[in-house]
Amino acid sequence: MTEHNSANRDLFDQVMVPNYSPSAVIPVRGKGSKVWDQDNNEYIDFAGGIAVNCLGHCHPALVEALKTQGEKLWHLSNVMTNEPALRLAKKLVDNTFAEKVYFANSGAESNEAALKLARRWALDVHGADKTEIIAFKQGFHGRTFFTVTVGGQAAYSDGFGPKPGDVFHAEYNNLDSVKELISEKTCAVVMEPLQGEGGIISPTNDFIQGVRDLCDQHNALLVFDEVQTGVGRTGDLYAYMGLNVTPDILTTAKALGGGFPIGAMLTTTEIAKHLKIGTHGSTYGGNPLACAVAEAAFDTVNDPAVLAAVLSKATLFKDGLNKINDKYNVFKEIRGKGLLIGAVLTDDYQGRAKEFLNAAMSEGLMSLVAGASIVRFAPSLVIPDADIAEGLLRFEKAVANIVKG
């Protein structure tokens, strides 16, 4: 065993707030889709930092962008703009429905900006009564108090006192439940175009189009939270592009920086004008370092060959998981789109997703969960096929260990 000095798991308990319970494994080095810990044990990364490391670890394009910008300019403030922020914003505008961009540091902050903009737009355009926000049960939009209230999981928002008001929750893929809630008082419907934390649930075509139509009928904005689905994760640059439905506001983060913290809110000029000078801000939003790295990540992912490969790699994943399931019968469904995949446990294994994660870790594979009964995979979009094959072999060993007891 190597000498870890004092930077071990015990130190976490001594000095860190206990809202996390991290693994005893402490990674120290990564390359591509592989990670090594303090004892030089190798892991294949099917987790991607929760859909963040879209190009794996230490991708040359990202490393070069960070080094180059790091020798030029680190931070200003939004009293001034900077070249990397302008270049990245132009690329986001040129490649999406959007005409205007607001930069933040995270998905939660991007969603906070989107929600504030929707409320401000409604106040300015329609008056003080149009304040209601409709979101979806089991949704997830971040951990600020506003976004965690909009997210449809009470366990995350309870226990902090009175919640922001006029927030209501419908059932995902149930258009009638949206119809029951929506009215002329609705300022926005906020949704993930594929629910991530809520269970890797894809929308039906009728549902997603129906929500768009209801928003149009009631003069409400449609906000897509693409924090997890954006920047190539589903095989499209953004998931809305594969759904033939265009939102009014879109949020993006996670993979946008390929591991460097950054978020963005995208919208139209007509809506954006309601966040006039002084109405919202972010100290680090549009930071030159973050925008330079994000530009490199965006350029690398926004390539037809890379996006097409996401779908072929997804097929390898799903075929491999189905073969494992043919042997061990632990999954009732393999679902998701692109490289956001959920393996839903059968009734016999309900509530045991964390056991599968831990067993996989013991075999040298990093994975995720989406709730108590779904094993989630969100690897690098450019993960080599050989790493997919090896990772699935390790996962099969983990499954076998659990089945054998």
Is 228 annotated in some ligand binding site? yes
Catalytic, 97? Answer no
**How is residue 65 written in tokens?**
């962008």
Q: How far apart are CA 314 and CA 226, in angstroms?
A: 19
Residue 250 and residue 192 in contact, taking contact as beta carbons nearer than 8 Å: no
Is 146 annotated in some ligand binding site? no
Is 226 annotated in some ligand binding site? yes
Of 46, 146, 207, 254, catalytic: 254
Distance set, CA 101 to CA 24, 86, 266 (Å) = 40, 10, 5
Q: How far apart are CA 47 and CA 53, in angstroms?
A: 9
Catalytic, 140? Answer yes
Other Cβ atoms less than 10 A from the Cβ of 60: the count is 10
Catalytic, 225? Answer yes
Q: How far apart are CA 172 and CA 180, in angstroms?
A: 13
Nearest alpha-carbon partner for 270 in 121, 131, 126, 123? 121
Is 107 annotated in some ligand binding site? yes
Of 46, 103, 136, 140, catalytic: 140
Q: How many CA atoms lie within 13 A of 137 on its CB side?
A: 8
134 membership: H or E segment, kind and range = strand 132-136
Of 37, 45, 225, 236, catalytic: 225
Per-residue exposure over 127-155, b if at least 16 CB sit within 10 Å of its own CB, e if not? eeebbbbbbbbbbbbbebebbbbbbbbee
Whose tokens are 């409400």? That residue is 220
Other Cβ atoms less than 10 A from the Cβ of 364: the count is 20
DSSP string covering 310-366 = HHHHHHHHHHHHHHHHHHH--EEEEEEETTEEEEEEPGGGTT-HHHHHHHHHHTTEE
Is 227 annotated in some ligand binding site? yes
Per-residue exposure over 33-47, b if at least 16 CB sit within 10 Å of its own CB, e if not? bbbebbeeeebbbbb
Is 143 annotated in some ligand binding site? yes
Binding-site residue ranges for N(2)-acetyl-L-ornithine: 143, 282
Tell me the binding residues: 107-108, 140, 143, 225-228, 282-283
Question: Binding site for pyridoxal 5'-phosphate: which residues?
Answer: 107-108, 140, 225-228, 283
Question: Which residues are the active-site residues?
Answer: 140, 225, 254
